[in-house]
């Protein structure tokens, strides 16, 4: 399989995050070391050629995202720097919730308009890294359009919490949605999101569409981030009704239950007859992940990959979460080798 990777992800290096439930500031888990560990594991297993992303114009981004969000990303750091003399982080300190619906003109004040949590900082190198991650995903989609059967976008930062006109959850642009949108040029993609967290942004982007199926397995939002979406009864709207499917999982879910639910999710995808599958691969489902709370043993990831690969769809895997610096690499590479084995 072709692997898309840009070393520019390391330009985005958040240092700390505010954990409101514990009332603490602690080291940020979404660090460059994650991608380095995954790259190393993928290389060691000889999974395929590692390629840089192609270059794309802004229309590839606005095919999913609000131009206002893109303009904010371009303008906010210089405006912030001119005002504070500091290199960031830009974080909102007030949020535009229900009824607070006047967008201010000042990009620094727009932070709380576009960002929904205080854990997703903008730093000097963030936008450059974010653009490269998006380009990795879109290049992966283009490779499938050109006839490749499997591709892996080693994206960092992740993307599935970012919506059309908002960001949060360590995500800035929705890499998987950008790829799925690209694939819509020649067919109907399904998106399978197996990150520990619900991919609220991806769900939202395709919620009204029957052309893209979104299916997600994740920790029950009743006890886990992003808290406000990911429930079973969210099934899509309008033409998209029936094309969104959530499988919330209890805390501590282990391999046997997880495989049972994944089999049901794959059945729903099969019934959709997709032309392509985009997998939002988070490996924060592994036991001992510092952010997640499920109990998948690291040894089960090749089998999950085989399950996803055996129907034989062309598959683009997009990296999302996975915060164990020790296990994220082996889990991601294990999933990819099972996928490659089953698709062969
Ligand atoms: C991004 B991805 C828990 C706070 C959770 C945000 C998690 C974002 C995960 N104290 N912080 O889906 O892996
Ligand atoms: Zn996650």
Query: Which of the 8 DSSP states describes residue 18?
Result: E
Element (H, E) at 278: strand 276-281
What residues sit around ligand 2, an ion, with C-beta below 5 angstroms? 195-197, 282, 284, 321
Q: Which amino acid residue places its CA nearest to atom 11 of ligand 1? A: 169
- Ligand having the closest approach to the CA of 30: 1
Residue whose CB lies within 8 A of the most ligand 1 atoms, among 20, 119, 203, for a mutation test: 119
Helix (H, G, I), strand (E, B) or coil at 220: coil
Q: Is the distance from the beta carbon of residue 167 to the nearest atom of ligand 1 less than 6 Å?
A: no
Element (H, E) at 3: strand 2-4
Q: Is the distance from the beta carbon of residue 226 to the nearest atom of ligand 1 less than 6 Å?
A: no
Buried b (16+ CB within 10 A) or exposed e, 200-238: bbbbbbbbebeebbbbbbbbbbeebbbeebbeeebebee
CA 120 to centroid of ligand 1, rounded, Å: 10
pLDDT of residue 344: 85
pLDDT of residue 22: 87
Burial class for 316, CB neighbours closer than 10 Å (0-12, 13-18, 19+): buried
- Short-list 149, 272, 175, 287, CA closest to 215: 272
Residue whose CB lies within 8 A of the most ligand 1 atoms, among 118, 156, 161, 223, for a mutation test: 161
42: pLDDT confidence band, cut at 50, 70 and 90? very high
pLDDT in tens, 129-162: 999 999 999 999 999 999 999 999 999 999 999 9
* Mean predicted confidence (pLDDT) in 199-227: 98
Give yes or no: 218 in active site.
no
Contact 65/58 with Cβ under 8 angstroms? no
Q: Is the distance from the beta carbon of residue 225 to the nearest atom of ligand 1 less than 6 Å?
A: yes
CA 340 to centroid of ligand 2, rounded, Å: 23
pLDDT of residue 145: 98
Q: Quickly count helices (H) and strands (E) in the chain.
A: 10, 10
Q: Is the distance from the beta carbon of residue 19 to the nearest atom of ligand 1 less than 6 Å?
A: yes
* Residues 197, 216: Cα–Cα separation, whole Å: 9
Whole-model pTM? 0.98
Q: Which amino acid residue places its CA nearest to atom 7 of ligand 1? A: 169
Q: Is the pLDDT of residue 20 over 90?
A: no
pLDDT of residue 98: 97
Cβ atoms within 10 Å, residue 102: 6
Q: Is the pLDDT of residue 23 over 90?
A: no
| Average pLDDT value for the chain | 98
Please confirm whether the linkage preceding 226 is cis (ω < 30° from 0).
yes
Q: Is the pLDDT of residue 168 over 90?
A: yes
Q: Is the pLDDT of residue 19 over 90?
A: no
Q: Is the pLDDT of residue 313 over 90?
A: yes
Please confirm whether the linkage preceding 257 is cis (ω < 30° from 0).
no
């Amino acid at each position: 399989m072709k692997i898309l990777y840009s070393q520019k992800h390391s330009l985005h290096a958040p240092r700390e995050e505010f954990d409101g439930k514990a009332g603490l500031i602690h080291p940020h888990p979404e660090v460059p070391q994650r991608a380095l560990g995954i790259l190393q594991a993928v290389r060691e297993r000889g999974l395929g050629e590692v390629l840089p992303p192609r270059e794309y114009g802004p229309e590839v981004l606005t095919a999913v995202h609000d131009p206002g969000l893109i303009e904010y990303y371009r303008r906010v750091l210089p405006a912030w720097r001119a005002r504070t003399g500091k290199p960031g982080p830009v974080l909102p300190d007030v949020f535009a919730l229900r009824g607070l619906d006047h967008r201010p003109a000042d990009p620094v004040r727009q932070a709380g308009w576009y960002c929904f949590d205080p854990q997703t900082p903008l730093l000097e190198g963030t936008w450059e890294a974010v653009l490269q991650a998006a380009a990795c995903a879109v290049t992966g989609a283009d490779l499938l359009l050109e006839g490749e059967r499997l591709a892996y976008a080693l994206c960092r930062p992740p993307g599935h919490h970012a919506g059309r006109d908002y960001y949060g959850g360590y995500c800035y642009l929705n890499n998987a949605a950008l790829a799925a949108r690209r694939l819509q040029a020649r067919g109907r993609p399904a998106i399978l999101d197996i990150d520990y967290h619900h991919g609220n942004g991806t769900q939202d982007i395709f919620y009204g569409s029957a052309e893209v199926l979104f299916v997600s397995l994740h920790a029950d939002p009743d006890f886990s981030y992003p808290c406000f979406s990911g429930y079973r009864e969210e099934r899509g709207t309008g033409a998209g009704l029936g094309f969104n499917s959530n499988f919330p999982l209890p805390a501590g879910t282990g391999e046997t239950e997880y495989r049972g639910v994944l089999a049901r999710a794959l059945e729903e995808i099969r019934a959709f007859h997709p032309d392509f599958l985009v997998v939002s691969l988070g490996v924060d489902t592994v036991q001992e992940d510092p952010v997640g709370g499920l109990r998948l043993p690291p040894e089960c990831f090749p089998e999950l990959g085989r399950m996803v690969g055996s129907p034989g769809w062309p598959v683009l895997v997009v990296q999302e979460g996975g915060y164990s610096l020790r296990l994220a690499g082996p889990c991601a590479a294990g999933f990819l080798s099972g996928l490659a084995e089953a698709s062969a």
